[in-house]
Structure formats: C-alpha cells, structure tokens
Structure 1
Amino acid sequence: MFVLLALLTFVLLYHHVKPEQYNIQLFGISKATIRSPITIEDKEKTEKMRREAADRIADVYTLKKEYAENRVDLISSVFTTISEVQKETEASVTHSEKLQKLKEKLPGDLYTHMSETQWSALLTAESSDLQLAKEAAVTAVNTIMSERITPQDLEEAKMRVDHELKYVIVKNELKDAIVQLAKYAIIPNVIYDRTATEEKRRQAMDEVKPVKILQGQIIVEEGQFITNDIYNQLKLVGLLENESTMQPFVGLGIFVILLLTPILYYFSKFKRENDEQHVYLFVYATIFSLTLIMMKLISLLQEMDLTDVVYVVPVAVGTILIRILLNEQLAVVTSFAYAICGSIMFNEGVTGTFDYSAGIYLLASGLAGAIFLSKQLQKAKILQAGLFVSLVNTAIIIAMLFMKNGHYSLVEIGIFVMMAVISGIFASVLTIGLLPFLEAGFGILSSMKLIELSNPNHPLLRKILTEAPGTYHHSLMVANLSEAACEAIGANGLLARVAAYYHDIGKTKRPRYFIENQMGDNPHDHLSPQLSKNIIIAHVTDGAAILKKHKMPKEIIDIAEQHHGTTLLKYFYHKAKQQSNYVLEEEFRYPGPKPQTKEAAIISIADSVEAAVRSLSNPSQEKIEKVVRGIIADRLQDNQFNECNITLKELELVAQSLCETLNGVFHSRIEYPEIRKEKVRQA
C-alpha cells in the first residue's frame, strides 16, 4: 500500500520537478528570456578569475643586506692588497713587476675589469690619498648597496657611483680608478623568493569570490545573441534539451520516501482491536490520494496563467477527514505532507522547486481543519470548521501580502480573500459529502458517527424508552459506568457509551420478562426454568438481529452479542436443578461469543455490576466494592476474558473506576426536616 502511495505521489509531483529545457543553439538568438532555476557555482569562470588574479601578482624579491657587507669587504681587501704590494716591493723593482705581483693577488675578473693605467694610479698613490680613496669607495658602495638593486636596476645603480664619488678630492687618475672599482663592486642585492611569491598568489586566488549563477538570475534575454559564456551557463544549470539528467527524479524519489516515512512509522506502531490496521491504512491511503489528486487537478489551472489558484485549494478536507475517521496526531502530520507536496505542485512562476508561500498557506489551512475539530466532532460542527479554516486562510493571505510590501489594490485583496473563504467552505462541503461514503465503504465507525448514534431521538433509543423504560434507564447507567472505566484504561470510552445504549435492545421484544420493566407479577413464576432461560438468552440474538436490520455499525452489533459472553444463568440453572437432577450446565449458558475487545469486556462487567448493586438494600462503599470485585473475579474464573487482550492491571483500574462511579450514584443523602415531619405524621 505504501509503495503504491509513494508511486502515486511521485507521478503527481513528477511534472513539477521536471527541469524546463530549451532548444538553444550556440551563436544563435534566444527566443525567450531565460532565468536560472537554481543557484550554482560557475567553477570554470571562478577558476579563470583566480588564475588572472594570480597572474597579476609580480614576482617577490628579497633584499639580501649581507651582499652590501660582502662588497664593502671586497673593496677593503683590494685596498689592503695594494698597500701590501707597495710595502713588500723594493725600490729596485720596476713598476711592471709591481703590477704583475698585484695581478697575482687579485681575482682575475677584477683585475681585467680595470685598465693597467687605473691600477697604476692606485699603486702609485700616496698612503693618505689611498686611504681617502678607500673610504670614499667603501662609502659609495655601502650607500648604493643599502637600497634594493634588481638585475634591471643594476646599470642605474652603477651610474650612481659617479655621483657619489664626484666630490672626492683626489687626483683624476685615482678618482677614475676608484669609480671603476666601485662600479665593479655594485651587484644586484635582491633574489627571487619562490615561497613568498606563491603565498601571495595563493592569497590573491583565495580573495576571489566564487562566481555563482543565482536562482532567478537572468541568463539570457529574449533576442540576445548566444555566446560561449551564455551557452556554458545554460548547460551548467541544465536548461539545454541535449543535456539529459536523472538527478531531479532521483531526488524526487528520495524526497517522497522521506515524506511518507513518518506515516509508515505511525502505521507500523498502529494498534487496533480485531486486526483492523489494514482497514485504517486503506482509509488513510484513499483520503491522502484523493486530496493529492484534487490538488493536482487544480494545479493544472496554472497553465492558464492563474498562478494564485493555490488559494482556492480545499486542502483542509483531507485533514478534517483524517481527524474524524482516524485521529488528530495523524491529521497534523499529514497537513505537513500536504503543504510540502503543494509547495511543489504550485511552483509555477517561481524560480525554484518549492513555492514557500503556497506551502505556508496550505500548512495553515490544513492545521486549522485538524485542530478546530479536536474535541468537537458533531457533523453540525463541520461547517463551523470550514468557516474557521476560511478565517485562518484569510489571515494568512493578508499577512503574506503585507509582508511582501506590494502595492495591491482593494479589488486584488478582495479576490484573494474570496478565494480563501471559498477554500474553507468548499473543504467543509466536501467533507460532509465524502464522509458517509468513506464510513460505509470501509465500515469505519467514526467518533462523529458514534455521537450521532447517541442522540436520544434515534429510533432505536426511542423504542427502548417507550417499550422498555426500565431497560433504558439501566442502559444509561451501564453507559456511564462503561465510559468512565474505558477512559481509565485508555480504551474507546465513546464507543463503550454508545454500545451500552443499544446492548439490551433485544429486551424490547419481550420487555415484561425482564425485572427492570416489571411493575407487578413476575411472569417467570408461571414458566419452567427452561422456557425462562430461552426467553432471557433470546434477548442477545434478538438484539443483534434488530441492530443488523437497522444497519448499525458492526462494533455495536458485536458488543450486543458479546456482552454476556458464555456466562451461566445461575438463577434459572439452580431452579432447574431443584426440579430435576438431569440438568446440563451448558444448556443454561449464553451462546456467546465471549468478549473480543476491551470495550465489550467492560460493558459485560458494568452490565452485571449495575444490576447487582441496584438490588442491594442499603448499598455502602464496602458492599459496592465487594460486589464489583466479586463479579470481576467470577468472570475471570469463568474464563470470560480469555479472548480479549485486557490485562489484570487494567481490570484493577476498571474495578476502581466502577466503584468510584457507583459510590457517586448511590451515596447517602441528608434527610430534610419536611420529610421527617411527614414520616412522623404518617406514623
């Protein structure tokens, strides 16, 4: 049943989740304005923007301050070497030999970087001039190398040497030599930092926000040229006819399973007497299916541009019927299911799968129908429930319109309100029309049906009242006792009350043969025990026949047949034994069957208890409790409760409830002075 229900729900929602697709050609012209049905990230474009951001980051170079120190040390070493050569050579050594010796001590590339004339100027310089030249060269190199020098800036940095040594007061030959030497010392002092460069580029990429196609965003307008970017976006959101996907349908299948799982769980824990679970499941599936089909048919009007048709959907009919025929908790759960399904069915005009405004409206309408009937189940209240639903519908529509802050005219608001009122009233009318068919078709005895049967003007109750008034009063007492006892153990108190009204309907066939209807002689005094037994036992079968003739619910007929079980008519049995020793006990037992439900068991106890307590001369609390517990113990010993699932703990609660009710009925009363005076006068 749930598989079929899930398939039906899937089929009804399939059309509304099927993605709309367009025949779009690359480098063509769009024939319609197309919006994105979903929010999705354009990963390809995001990655492109991130690459561009990374490319804009220049390479990172790190300044090496130790390079300046090294080059300063190089200059100092050169001047130290020159001084050493000057001191080591003798006067007889020629200038060429001095140059040769200096060449041997200096790096080859350094010596060749300068001319011999410049080296000669350094070798022939006075110590004071050489010291001055050294200080000037070191200062210039240190100053220039303290700043960032990239390979591209190297020539510019070397040109700054001329400026730094411009005002050194030495001979021109010596100045040219130290300028050339300082230029040799100037080198790039920054190097490429791979780690820092990659870190900066990574940060730049992270700062690029993902490029998203937003739900409802216009991808292409009517008449616009289809570029590669537009075509890729249409492909990404699944709007191209050549792009088939099963994702929406797989998602819908999972969604339907999750939607029906709470209901499946409820029915897996559902407990009813006489294995009626399947009946109530069929009833629920029928109501759920009919409501969804009705919503689907109304949703087809959206194709006529009636996007607000959701406001006339009488979704409350489903929740009201479930509340009446099943229970309130299931009706509340189902109202959420209706709202979710409705938000998908009525999603025309919205960019997403769900129309949340429609869902909220349907949820409020469904809950209103279920909650209003929580404790008032008379059929006359169904129209009132419809009006209440209309009121809630109107309130929720006005609230949503005002929250949208739209400029609606009074005519538009009036149309919306009228649709809300029609929805509520139509729901109540449909409920009244469908309820009899569901009750008759599935044999469901609803609370509303029970309340109708409890009406004192019912023909059978009037028959009992007029033809067997004592039995009528007895039935009222049994009804009160049974209802209180059933509610004490969680059984159906309303069913027990109504069934108790009709349980002795068979006595109307021969009312004078039952003691509560006798005003004078007892007819049984003139009959044999066997004949009296047959008359008394017959009221059970006669009652079942009368109830069947009037097409009463099966539950009430069953209780009428079972309220005596297979108990023994002790009075006539013992009377027969006094007359003859050949009397079988089975002949003086009711035909049964034994009570099959808790309600039948409680009515059988209450029926005997009421008659026994009424026969007491001065019923006290102790006497009443003794009678009640004695009757229950007698039924247990007679195995009358073997076929129903009532427990010993529940029988204890039943006994306590019966005692409390009977003590309230048969309590002692104060004797008023006027009554005492009248008794004295009569004495």
Structure 2
Amino acid sequence: MRDMKKRLEMQKRGERKEFKSPGLIKLKLLFTRSYVPFWLWFGGTISGICLIYLLFSIFSFYQKAGVVVVVGVFIFTLSLSLFHFYPKFLSGKYLALLAILLLVTALIGRIVILLPQIPDVFVPIAFLSIFLSLFFNLFISSFVLSVLSILFVLVSGRFELLPVLFSGGMIGAYGASVIHHRTDITRIGLWVGLTNLASVIGIGLIGNFSLQKIAVWGLWGIGSGIFSSILITVSLPYFETYFGITTDIRLLELTDLNHPLLRRLAIEAPGTYHHSILVATLAAAAAEAVGANPLLARVGAYYHDIGKITRPHFFFENVRIEGEGDNSHLRVNPNLSSKIILSHVKDGLELARIYRLPKVVVDIIAEHHGTSLIAYFYRKALLEKRGKGSVEESSFRYPGPKPRSKESAIVMLADSVEADSRFSSGKSHKGIESQIKRVINNKLKDNQLDETDLTLRDLNRIAKAFTRVMAGLSHTRGRYPEEMLKGGGEINQNQQYVERKSSHIIS
C-alpha cells in the first residue's frame, strides 16, 4: 500500500504512472555495488553473440553485416518485450542470466557448426528453451527460441534444420513449464530427442534424404535432447544459487510434506503444523485471486512459523489445554512472554539458513508479522503497571521488516485471519466475511501493508477468497439425538469455550 493516498489522488485526476525509458535504466552488476546503463548490457550482448558467430567464419563483409543486423534486431525486440510486458525481469540478475544463456548457447552452436563430423542437427537449442522456461516464462522462451532458430539456420546455411530446432525447443520449453521435479528434466530431454527424430524423418522424406542420412541425423537429434537435459541437470543448481533465482521446481520440492523441516514441525509443534496448512490454503486462494504467485504463497505459508519448533509449548496451538496451569505464560511476566513470542521469527530465520531455504521464502518468514503489536501481552503489561510506570510499546512489536511482496503480505493476512477464526466457530457467511474484513482493516490501519503493491481492489478480492475458504472450513455437523441425550452438545460447547480462551495468545 505504498503511498496509498498519493495513488488514490492520482487515480482521481486521471494521472498515469510514469516509466523511464529503457536507456535510462541502470542495472546492478552481480556480486558488486556497481551499476551499468541498460544500453551497455544491450550492446555487450549483441557484440558477444556476433563475435561468436563471426569468429573463424568465411562470411563476406556483407554477410557479417547481415548477422550483426539480425542479432541487433533480435536483442532490441527482446528488450522491448521485457520492458513493456515483463518489467520484473529487467533486474540485473535476470538480464545477466539471460545474456550468459544466450552466449553459452551461441558458443555451443558455433562449435557444432565448425565441427564437420557432427551434424548441425545436434545443436542443443533445447538447453536454452528449457532454461528460459524455468527461470523466465514460456512466452520469453518461445520468442528467443524462434529467433535463435532462424539465426542458426542463417549462419549454417541449412534451412531444413528450422523445423528440427524449433519443434524440439518448443517441446522442451513447454515441458519445463509444467514439470514438478528435477528428475522430470531427463524425461523432457528424451521427448525433445524423439521430437527431433520425428522432424528429421519429416524433412528427410521431403528432401529425399538417404535412409542412412536420416538414421544418422535422427540419432544425433536424440542425442541433442539428452545432452541438453544433462547440461541443465548439472548446471541448474549452480545457476539458482549464484543468481539467487528460485524456480518453480525448487518451490514444488518445498511443498513436499515429507521435507525434513516440515516433518519436524509436524512432530514437535503439531498445532503450528496444522495452522500452517490452513494458512497455506488461504494464501494460495488469495494469491490466485490477485494475480500473485500462488505456489510461492503456499510454500511461504508452510514455513512461515517454523521458528516455533524451538519453544513449541509457549504457543497455545501446540498445548492441549486441560487447566489454567498448562499455560506456560502464566509463569512468566508479560515482557518475557513477549520476547519469547517475538523470538520465533529469529529462530525461523536460523532454521531457514540451516535447511537452505530460498531467499523468497526467507523473506516471507521475516516479514509475515511486519512490525505488528503483540496486543495481548502489551495490554497485560499495562494492567500490571496500573500507572506505576511506563510500558514501551516498541518492546511488544515485531522488528519487521514489513511485507514487501504481494505473497508476503498475503501470508501475513492469512496468518491473522486463521488465528482470529479460532474465536468464532459457527459464524454465518456474513459474519465470517465481516470478521475477515475487520482483520484486514486492522492491518491496513496499523500501516503493515505500506510497502506492498496491493491495491484496495486487491484487498477486497483477498477478503472474498478468504471468505470462501473459511466458509468451507467452518461448516458444522448436525447433532444427532444420541449425542444430545448423552450431553454431547454441552460437552462440545464447553470444549469450544476452552479453545476460545486458549487462543487469545496467538503468535
């Protein structure tokens, strides 16, 4: 909700957000504090690809000039696409990764072209298309694949290669956009190889190739797909680590409930574990509603409270309340209770470091409470003082930072909504909706959403998504006559009363 009032005023006046031109954008160099202008990346990438293709070539001057023009137009149109449709990819790490992938693919292709004993059909262009689909998206992968396929054909002079390169690369790009595990990359490589084989057979029949030539090219085409998958399997972890980019494959791996950290959470803090599962359901639904990343929201929700593993008995969802004596906080003063509650974020960050969770998940762990106030213990401290001293509110607030991404803000709201729902089992649909909007409004009034890009319309959609999920979770079972005769209804009411009392101290 950054500068909410200012943005609302701009909307009323019909003003639009101003964008800088691509030439004015400065890119932060990887692993440094230096910045370079966008045009330098643009020119450097063009120069690198051109040098690779023109080095040791027998092209005439005009042919070399043509390659430079083709590469320049390609990089220019790619830059425009990124700037207008995918501005999030204009960061230094994404553009550095893109430049490296383009140069590596161009270099491998050039080596294949220079070696007469290797058919040009072996060019592993699927390596690039799969990588781009994993780190960027299917559209960018398809666009780059189309242009590079044409460029390879122009440089090699073998126009019959175009369907082989394009079809195999597209199968790789699409397969990478729907895979769930790293082991699936090998299967994609095999599909790419089979697609190459089919394309070779097709162009062989059209061009009246000999059976031997079709067989040789087909085998090299299969080898190209397998070689691409091997390259990706080996290099993907390094690219993820050094560029700090989390792929959907990594996030999908973290959704496995058998992950060691989630298994610890389920065993050592079972109440927190079930709370996290419910928060994940809420967060994924809300992220889908506002166009955020539902997978990241779900993963962030799974791990947002892992710090409670350290002292699980101080969080009431992990304690079976049998009497007032079971409340660990009754034995300590409000200040100490507050420090214990606050520490679960720091403990979570330490566990995230030990288990090597990706940065996007670590950010959600750090931000899911923002700078919220632990109201219960703050009020309890005020009551104990009773005018005999001051109580610093800052001591009862989380250190932050506030949520800076949509997914982080959604997890914060989902966490608060799920915790607050423990006070109100059995409410009507309107009652649930009213309660959810009250929770969201409280976060908004407390300025916890100031650093996110969520709009008021987004918050309304989030509230509706939460309401749908909570209405489904809070349905009640009809009471049977036998239960009422045995006093089951009264027992259930007493149990709900105890649970409501125990949930006043939440997180």
Q: For residues 645-664 of structure 1, what are the structure 2 equivalents within 5 Å?
A: 645-664=453-472
Whether contact under 8 Å (2:70, 2:151) holds in the other structure is no
Structure 2 residue identity aligned to 1:265: L
Quote the residue 2:341 is aligned against.
536
The alpha carbon displacement at 1:425 in A equals 1.3
What's the CA shift string for 1:384-428, capped at 9, x where partnerless? 21121112111111010111134x23x443322211211111111
Whether contact under 8 Å (2:122, 2:220) holds in the other structure is yes
Query: Distance between the aligned counterparts of 1:564 and 1:337, measured in 2?
Result: 46
Query: Distance between the aligned counterparts of 2:166 and 2:384, measured in 1?
Result: 73
Quote the residue 1:458 is aligned against.
259
Structure 2 residue identity aligned to 1:641: L
The alpha carbon displacement at 1:271 in A equals 5.1
Quote the residue 1:249 is aligned against.
64
What's the CA shift string for 1:21-69, capped at 9, x where partnerless? xxxxxxxxxxxxxxxxxxxxxxxxxxxxxxxxxxxxxxxxxxxxxxxxx
Structure 2 residue identity aligned to 1:318: L
1:558 to 339, 363, 368: 363
Query: Distance between the aligned counterparts of 1:634 and 1:272, measured in 2?
Result: 32
Q: For residues 334-413 of structure 1, what are the structure 2 equivalents within 5 Å?
A: 334-347=144-157, 355-406=158-209, 408-409=210-211, 411-413=212-214
Structure 2 residue identity aligned to 1:277: S
Q: For residues 283-682 of structure 1, what are the structure 2 equivalents within 5 Å?
A: 283-302=97-116, 304=117, 306=118, 309-347=119-157, 355-406=158-209, 408-409=210-211, 411-520=212-321, 521-580=326-385, 581=387, 582-671=390-479, 675-681=480-486
The alpha carbon displacement at 1:551 in A equals 2.2
The alpha carbon displacement at 1:538 in A equals 0.6
Superposition TM-score, scaled by structure 2 size? 0.83
Quote the residue 1:8 is aligned against.
48
Query: Distance between the aligned counterparts of 1:499 and 1:617, measured in 2?
Result: 26
Quote the residue 1:264 is aligned against.
79
Whether contact under 8 Å (1:13, 1:344) holds in the other structure is no
Whether contact under 8 Å (2:82, 2:90) holds in the other structure is no
Of stretches 371-380 and 587-596 in structure 1, the one that deviates more from structure 2 is: 371-380
The alpha carbon displacement at 1:635 in A equals 0.9
What's the CA shift string for 1:144-171, capped at 9, x where partnerless? xxxxxxxxxxxxxxxxxxxxxxxxxxxx
Whether contact under 8 Å (1:271, 1:277) holds in the other structure is no
Query: Distance between the aligned counterparts of 2:455 and 2:270, measured in 1?
Result: 35
The sequence identity of aligned pairs, in percent, is 35
Whether contact under 8 Å (2:334, 2:378) holds in the other structure is yes
Whether contact under 8 Å (1:267, 1:277) holds in the other structure is no
Structure 2 residue identity aligned to 1:447: D
Whether contact under 8 Å (1:317, 1:431) holds in the other structure is yes
The alpha carbon displacement at 1:19 in A equals 3.5
Query: Tell me, what secondary structure is at the counterpart of 1:374?
Result: helix
What's the CA shift string for 1:503-550, capped at 9, x where partnerless? 101100000000110113111122111111010011011111211222
Give the direction of change, closer, same or farther, for the CA distance of 1:363–1:635 in structure 2 (3 Å limit): same
The alpha carbon displacement at 1:655 in A equals 0.8
What's the CA shift string for 1:554-612, capped at 9, x where partnerless? 11111111100011111111111111132122221111111111111110000000011
Query: Tell me, what secondary structure is at the counterpart of 2:178?
Result: coil
Query: Distance between the aligned counterparts of 2:183 and 2:262, measured in 1?
Result: 21
Of stretches 380-389 and 494-503 in structure 1, the one that deviates more from structure 2 is: 380-389
Query: Distance between the aligned counterparts of 2:178 and 2:477, measured in 1?
Result: 35
Structure 1 residue identity aligned to 2:252: I
Structure 2 residue identity aligned to 1:553: P
Give the direction of change, closer, same or farther, for the CA distance of 1:344–1:619 in structure 2 (3 Å limit): same
Structure 2 residue identity aligned to 1:395: A
Whether contact under 8 Å (2:49, 2:102) holds in the other structure is no
Give the direction of change, closer, same or farther, for the CA distance of 1:545–1:574 in structure 2 (3 Å limit): same
Structure 2 residue identity aligned to 1:576: A
Runs of 4+ in 1 over 6 A off after TM superposition: none
Give the direction of change, closer, same or farther, for the CA distance of 1:318–1:579 in structure 2 (3 Å limit): same
Structure 1 residue identity aligned to 2:198: A
The alpha carbon displacement at 1:669 in A equals 3.6
Structure 2 residue identity aligned to 1:253: V
Structure 2 residue identity aligned to 1:9: I
Structure 1 residue identity aligned to 2:43: V
Quote the residue 2:28 is aligned against.
none
Quote the residue 2:19 is aligned against.
none
Whether contact under 8 Å (1:492, 1:599) holds in the other structure is yes
Query: Distance between the aligned counterparts of 2:82 and 2:141, measured in 1?
Result: 13
The alpha carbon displacement at 1:2 in A equals 1.9
The number of equivalent residue pairs is 441
Whether contact under 8 Å (1:17, 1:344) holds in the other structure is no
Query: Tell me, what secondary structure is at the counterpart of 2:292?
Result: coil
Q: CA RMSD in A?
A: 1.9
Whether contact under 8 Å (1:18, 1:249) holds in the other structure is no
Query: Distance between the aligned counterparts of 2:486 and 2:371, measured in 1?
Result: 52
Whether contact under 8 Å (1:338, 1:362) holds in the other structure is no
Larger radius of gyration: 1
Whether contact under 8 Å (2:426, 2:476) holds in the other structure is no
The alpha carbon displacement at 1:364 in A equals 1.2
The alpha carbon displacement at 1:376 in A equals 2.4
